[in-house]
């Protein structure tokens, strides 16, 4: 039985190689289909990794009290007229909230940071309290975070991101050095660990963190303010309701009045990402199915032509003892070999494409996806080759020998 398998395999490979151009053109549909499904899977895998890493920055258990919503139907004129989030609100929330574990006001704006002749523009500067270190997922890689005493006194100290360190200090020790934020000098006391980009849009390492006391004294009229609240992940919904009630009480809003603030969390990002992933996956699957259907029809057509061209050969093989099952298996194997060839070529092209994707997202082609793609190409070979192989197996040997 094993010898029969290898004999059929030898004949099938010989037949495919004897018509190289036709075999390559026949496999193009499978190549495109496998390329589409593997690239789609690799892209989604890369997006998943990038998204999860970005969501770590937000934190699963952090609520963000802001003037505006991150997603939704934001009416610009309504939001523009909303009162700003006040830094003093953080003390009220800390005292009255049952769910808040850590509360940190945050004031953010963008400015230039200098060191000697080196200048970086568009740096995100965040004024906050020492509790921010308990809320953010990123840790101080070198040095330390500022203390409550430094915050209260408005000390001019700063924690810088890795992009700032690499540009201004070029690998040298930054601790104790002076940098200029806007028009004021600050002493570097720490460096945050490298975080990468948020959803591939902007670098989280291009930032400077200073005490909120220094911000109020030097930059109070710049940027926007918000409050970050860390809670237990299991109490996220209850904490959201409580924070909403506290803010309505602080703002003296009547029951009939709408909220003039927003409480943001990870969920809207996840919902938007799910929609994007569904769109990418749906498009990829449509291209894959269309390509494989067209490729399968092409393979079936070529196999019918091949059966007709080799009718006499089939008659000779049957005359010397080949069974219908042997003929069926031979032509079915030819169809599978063509599809397997197309699958391997598609995987090779997809692997090259995955290297390009990897330059944007930290990803690699999943082994399981590659094996599934090859299995899919084999299934297409079986389905598209079944009818021509059955026709070849049912040929009458006498009629086949007479065929010219």
Q: What is the pLDDT of residue 398?
A: 67
Highest mean pLDDT among 20-24, 210-214, 215-219, 269-273: 210-214
Is 261 within 8 Å of 123 (Cβ atoms)? no
Q: Average the pLDDT over each of 103-112, 185-194, 389-398 and give the range with the smallest value.
A: 389-398
Structure tokens belonging to residue 188: 């570097």
**Residue ranges covered by each domain of the chain:** 2-54+271-402, 60-265
Q: Average the pLDDT over each of 12-21, 247-256, 387-396 and give the range with the smallest value.
A: 12-21
Burial of 253: CB neighbours in 10 Å, binned 0-12, 13-18, 19+: middle
Cα–Cα distances in angstroms (integers) from residue 215 to residues 58, 176, 182, 184, 327, in the given order: 23, 20, 12, 11, 83
Average of per-residue pLDDT across 85-103: 90
Name 109's bridge partners.
Answer: 125
Q: What is the pLDDT of residue 361?
A: 64
Average of per-residue pLDDT across 79-102: 88
- Distance of alpha carbon 23 from alpha carbon 402, whole angstroms: 28
The residue among 65 and 278 whose pLDDT is bigger is 65
- Distance of alpha carbon 83 from alpha carbon 69, whole angstroms: 14
Q: What is the DSSP letter of 266?
A: S
Is 54 within 8 Å of 138 (Cβ atoms)? no
Is residue 98 predicted with pLDDT exceeding 80?
A: yes
Q: What is the pLDDT of residue 209?
A: 93
- Distance of alpha carbon 110 from alpha carbon 124, whole angstroms: 5
Average of per-residue pLDDT across 289-308: 81
Structure tokens belonging to residue 158: 């700063």
Q: What is the pLDDT of residue 157?
A: 94
Q: Secondary structure of the chain: what % helix, strand, coil (to 5)?
A: 55, 15, 25
Highest mean pLDDT among 160-174, 346-360, 380-394: 160-174
Query: Mind listing the pLDDT tens digit for each residue in 176-220?
Result: 899 999 888 999 999 988 887 766 666 778 899 999 988 888 887
Name the pTM for this structure: 0.69
Q: How confident is the model at residue 23 (pLDDT cuts 50, 70, 90)?
A: confident
Q: What is the pLDDT of residue 362?
A: 64
Q: What is the pLDDT of residue 402?
A: 62
Helix or strand or coil: residue 158? strand
Average of per-residue pLDDT across 271-284: 80
Q: How confident is the model at residue 12 (pLDDT cuts 50, 70, 90)?
A: low
């Amino acid at each position: 039985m094993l010898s029969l398998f290898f004999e059929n395999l030898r004949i099938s490979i010989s037949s495919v190689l004897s018509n190289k151009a036709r075999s390559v053109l026949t496999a193009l549909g499978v190549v495109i289909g496998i390329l589409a499904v593997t690239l789609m899977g690799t892209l989604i895998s890369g997006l998943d990794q990038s998204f999860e890493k970005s969501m770590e920055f937000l934190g699963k258990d952090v609520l963000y009290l802001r003037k505006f919503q991150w997603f939704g139907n934001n009416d610009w004129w309504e939001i523009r007229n909303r009162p700003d989030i006040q830094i003093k609100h953080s003390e009220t929330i800390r005292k009255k909230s049952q769910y808040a574990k850590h509360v940190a006001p945050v004031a953010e704006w963008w400015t230039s940071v200098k060191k000697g002749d080196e200048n970086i523009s568009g740096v995100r500067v965040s004024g906050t309290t020492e509790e921010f270190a308990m809320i953010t997922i990123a840790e101080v890689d070198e040095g330390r975070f500022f203390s409550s005493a430094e915050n209260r006194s408005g000390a001019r100290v700063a924690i810088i991101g890795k992009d700032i360190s690499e540009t201004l200090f070029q690998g040298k020790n930054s601790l104790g050095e002076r940098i200029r934020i806007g028009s004021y000098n600050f002493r570097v006391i720490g460096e945050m660990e490298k975080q990468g980009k948020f959803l591939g849009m902007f670098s989280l390492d291009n930032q400077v963190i200073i005490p909120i006391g220094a911000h109020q004294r030097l930059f109070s009229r710049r940027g926007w303010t918000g409050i970050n609240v860390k809670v237990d992940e299991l109490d996220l919904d209850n904490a959201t309701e409580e924070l909403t009630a506290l803010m309505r009480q602080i703002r003296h809003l009547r029951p009939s009045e709408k909220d003039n603030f927003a409480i943001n969390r990870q969920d809207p990002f996840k919902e938007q990402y799910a929609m994007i992933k569904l769109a990418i996956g749906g498009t990829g699957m449509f291209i894959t199915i269309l390509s494989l259907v067209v490729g399968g029809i092409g393979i079936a057509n070529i196999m019918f032509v091949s059966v007709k061209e080799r009718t006499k050969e089939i008659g000779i093989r049957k005359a010397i003892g080949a069974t219908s099952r042997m003929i069926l298996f031979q032509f079915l194997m030819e169809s599978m070999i063509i599809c397997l060839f197309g699958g391997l070529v598609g995987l090779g092209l997809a692997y090259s494409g995955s290297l390009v994707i990897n330059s944007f997202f930290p990803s690699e082609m999943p082994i399981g996806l590659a094996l599934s793609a090859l299995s899919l190409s084999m299934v297409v070979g079986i389905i598209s080759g079944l009818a021509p192989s059955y026709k070849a197996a049912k040929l009458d040997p006498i009629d086949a020998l007479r065929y010219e």
